[in-house]
Structure 1
């Protein structure tokens, strides 16, 4: 993949970060995404549970 001026600029900026700064950025992004996944999982689980309860009431 050919490098672009934008890609070179990003690479230059990221290489100037300290290791601790990169760790902070990765932790922040990871925690943010994991919390979204957790909330979506709870929402889908709740919808699934309501649907199953509704089906059980209809069958029983």
Structure 2
């Protein structure tokens, strides 16, 4: 499943900011940060069906 790239030119900047956010964290801290980020972003999206679609897309990409 391919999703629209809504970040466009900012994709690399977002990835770099995400990597910077994790710098210096242990693996456990990094996992906890990712979990908090998923919950915050999910709340921002606020659409259960869209979230399910995105979860399937993430599972298919792995």
Shorter-chain TM-score tier: 0.3 to 0.5
Q: Pick the structure with more helix per residue.
A: 1
RCO higher in structure (CA 8 A, sep ≥6): 2
TM-score by length of 1: 0.38
